[in-house]
Every structure is written in C-alpha cells, then in structure tokens.
Amino acid sequence: MIKKITTLPGDGIGPEIVESGKAVLQVIADLYGHQFEFQEGLIGGAAIDATGVPLPDETIERCQSSDACLLGAVGGPKWDQQPPHLRPEKGLLAIRQALNLYANLRPVQALDALIEESTLKPEVVSGVDVLIVRELTGGIYFGEPRERRTIDGEEGVVDTLVYKKSEIERLLHRAFQFAEIRGKHVTSVDKANVLESSRMWRECANEVATHYPSVTLEHMLVDNAAMQLIRQPKQFDVLVTENLFGDILSDEASMITGSLGMLPSASLNGTAFGLYEPVHGSAPDIAGLNQANPLATIASTAMLLRYSFGLLEEADCIEQAINQVLLKGYRTADLTNANAISTEEMTKAVIKEIKVAIHS
Ligand SMILES: NC(=O)C1=CN([C@@H]2O[C@H](COP(=O)(O)OP(=O)(O)OC[C@H]3O[C@@H](n4cnc5c(N)ncnc54)[C@H](O)[C@@H]3O)[C@@H](O)[C@H]2O)C=CC1
Ligand SMILES: CC(C)CC(=O)C(=O)O
Ligand SMILES: [Mg+2]
C-alpha cells in the first residue's frame, strides 16, 4: 500500500533536516519494500514569503490528505517584527490546531554513546528514559483575548490561559495509557499552588488515575519539576503537563541527552495520523551551513513509522542505526568541539548503518 507523507520544511535549518529525514524514509521504503509518496507543503516564514500567510489552506489540505507529516521548524529573525498573525510560529500553532494534534510525545532517552556529552554527571544520566506528554492545542498559546490594551491608564498586555475539562482529560488518558505499557508511573506537572487551571488539571489527573489502577500518580509543581529533571531524572517515567510547561521542560530535558538536536517528537490526534518534528526550532544561527544535527528529525521519522504506519521493525532499525553511528564516534558540532561532521555526513552515516543492519 502507498503511504503519503507530507513534508513541511519551514525555515532556518528546517529544509536541511527534513531532507535528511526524507532520505532515511526513502531508504527504509526501498529496503523493506514499502511505497512512500512524498509531497511538500509551505509553512512558517517560507509560506509568508510565497503566499502572504504562515499557513496556506493548501498546506492544511495536503496534510489532511496524507497519512503522516514530517515538519522541520519555523521562524527566524527575518520575520520577528511581523504583526502576530504574520509570524511564522502562528503557522505551526495553526496546523497543530487544524489537525487537532493535542498529544505531543517528547521521549527523552539517554543513549549510552552520549553519556559523556550530557551536561549532567554520568551516574545521573545513565539509563534515563522519560516520556514527556505535552498538551499541544490549548492553554496560553491559544487562549483569547491576547492583546495590547490600556490597563489602569498605562500600556499593558493580556494573554489568556483556557482549558476545557475534556481537553485535559483526553491528554491525561493518553499519558496513563503510555504509562501502562512503560514504567507504570505518571508525574503530572502543574502550578496548582497558584493557577486555577492547574487545580482543575490536578482534579482531572486524580479522576483519570482511577481508570488505571496499575499506574501510580504523583503531582509535582512545575518549578520543582524543572529542578528534579536535572537533579534526578530517573525518578520520571511519564511526565504529563500542559502546553507551556511542556514546551519549556522538554528543551531543558534535552540536555540530559547531550543536545537539543537529539530530541524527536510526535504530535497525535487519536487516529493513526500524526505530525512528526524535532523538538528544537529553526536554529537561524547555523541555518544553511550544513552543521545542524539531523538526528532529532531522523528519530522523528522512526516515531512516524511506529505510530502512524505501525512499522515497528523499521522504526527500531532507524533508532539502532542512530545508536550505532554515535557509538562509532560520529558527532555533529552541537555534540563535540573537535572533528564534527556535517548534517549530510551524519545522514549518510545513519543510512549506511541501516543498510548494514538489513543486509547482515
Ligand atoms: N518547532 C518549531 O518550529 C520551533 C521554532 N522555534 C523558532 O526558531 C527560532 C529560533 O529559536 P531559538 O530560541 O534560537 O531555538 P532553537 O531551538 O532554534 O535553537 C536553540 C539553540 O540550539 C541550537 N540548535 C537547535 N537545533 C539544533 C540542531 N538540530 N543541531 C544543532 N544545533 C541546534 C541552535 O543553533 C541554537 O543555538 C525562533 O524563531 C523560534 O520562534 C523555536 C522552537 C520551536
Ligand atoms: C515555536 C512554538 C510555537 C512552539 C515550540 O517552541 C515548540 O513546540 O517546541
Ligand atoms: Mg519549544
């Protein structure tokens, strides 16, 4: 059967790393005898430049007519002064909302090959395997009103945090379901000592937990969670939280793995469809230099094969190839100060390992 994949390269390093992901998917298709049909869509700054909007309707339609999407990243200084509705990031938020991609999985695994590259001590990092489950289509990134306004006679601003109970509950169910097949522990992260939204979040977590008797639930305030992730990350199995907290905590957690350039993600809506993207942004400081680490995007293709296509062996094959190239000492510049290889060289190294694994 032909599987349709829409690629959304976006801005900055986006086109370079999506090219890497596509090359890996093509090799998997060739070696395992699958047919993947690729089509491309505009998003972010690239879409603004070409069409005047950060998310053209045509892009949404292409995504809707495909089985999965692979996104690079959006944004960059070129568009930083644009009004809010013409910011590249608006395109990313809008595609997540248009496709109802409410569950964002951000696995954080410390690979043995990169223990030395982590900023934390080896004994703290070794064996870390945390799944961050981040709510992706609600909260303060989407709430209205959001505006500049006069407050008490002076210039002011309003952002709004809104959640419906059903939005919180569906995400928590996903988190508990993952915990059931993992380490059977959920840490629900909130700011319930201050925020009403967090107090409802906590009530929902307590209620949802009753449906999963084999899973233990712990509540943790977000400021403490930020510290615990660095102090003792092995205490976490599934960490579930709202949109803004999950965004921040996952970038922080990436340093356990050695680099932000290592962290993949899957954004799911409850069907087989998903949008897959690295956790990092468009890295304008290294865009176009063939220096970006493509492994977060390549690892995202493994998640795509696993969650959208059910191709578990193929997904494992990609992850093992990533592990192998790192064990052999290949490093992009974000992971080493000496003898760094390029984006293209890292991609070729992974592809070589995939071929070796399949032919052996
Ligand atoms: N999902 C997305 O499309 C996201 C987009 N952004 C946008 O990206 C732009 C840049 O944002 P920043 O705050 O600088 O975050 P960023 O994640 O793009 O970069 C942070 C730092 O990490 C490095 N980095 C990131 N990915 C890397 C990779 N694959 N290989 C090697 N180094 C890597 C960058 O060079 C930079 O030093 C902004 O316009 C921001 O809004 C930020 C986060 C997510
Ligand atoms: C650029 C933002 C819209 C999103 C972000 O930082 C993220 O999803 O990690
Ligand atoms: Mg982010």
Instruction: Write down the pLDDT at residue 265.
Output: 98
User: What is the C-alpha to C-alpha distance for residues 32 and 124, in angstroms, rounded to an integer?
Assistant: 38
Residue 253 and residue 269 in one domain: no
- Token output for 62: 């292409």
The predicted pLDDT at position 305 comes to 98
d(CA 187, CA 249): 13
Q: Which residues pair with 133 in a beta bridge?
A: 105, 240
Query: What pLDDT score was predicted for residue 250?
Result: 98
Per-block average pLDDT, block size 10, for the chain (360 residues)?
96 98 98 98 98 98 98 97 94 98 98 94 97 98 97 98 98 98 98 98 98 98 98 98 98 97 98 98 98 98 98 98 98 96 98 94
- Same domain membership, residue 305 and residue 246: no
Q: What is the pLDDT of residue 25?
A: 98
Spell out which residues line ligand 2, taking CB within 6 angstroms: 89, 92-93, 247, 279
Q: What is the predicted pLDDT for the residue at 22? A: 98
Helix, strand, or coil (residue 196): helix
Q: Is there a single domain that holds both residue 230 and residue 125?
A: yes
Question: 133 and 22 share a domain?
Answer: no
Residue 141 belongs to domain with CATH number: 3.40.718.10
Domain termination site, one of 225, 240, 257: 257
Whether residues 290 and 357 share a domain: the answer is yes
Residue 30 in marked binding region:
no
pLDDT at 244: 98
82 is in an annotated binding site: yes
Does 132 share its domain with 95?
Answer: no
State the total domains in the chain.
Answer: 2
Residue ranges making up the domain that contains 300: 1-102+263-360
Domain co-membership, 97 together with 191: no
In angstroms, how far is the first alpha carbon of the chain from the final one?
26
Closest ligand 2 atom number to CA of residue 136: 8
CA atoms within 13 A on the CB side of 263: 25
Q: Which atom of ligand 1 is nearest to the CA of 283?
A: 18
Q: Per-residue b/e over 311-342, b at no fewer than 16 CB within 10 Å?
A: beebbebbbebbbbbbeeebbbbbbeeeebbb
| Three-point CA angle 293, 7, 11, nearest 5° | 55
Measured from the Cα of 280, ligand 1's closest atom is 17
Nearest CA to ligand 1 atom 20: 283
ipTM of the complex as predicted: 0.99
Gap between the Cα atoms of 240 and 184, Å rounded = 13
Last residue of a domain, one of 257, 290, 313: 257
Domain membership of residue 111 (yes or no) is: no
79 Cα–ligand 3 center, Å = 18
Whether residues 252 and 279 fall in one domain: no
Last residue of a domain, one of 257, 289, 312: 257
Domain contains 152? yes
- With a Cβ cut-off of 6 Å, ligand 1 is lined by 13, 73-76, 89, 92, 260-261, 277, 280-286, 292-293, 296, 334
* 249 and 125 inside one domain: yes
Query: Residue of the nearest CA to atom 8 in ligand 2?
Result: 247
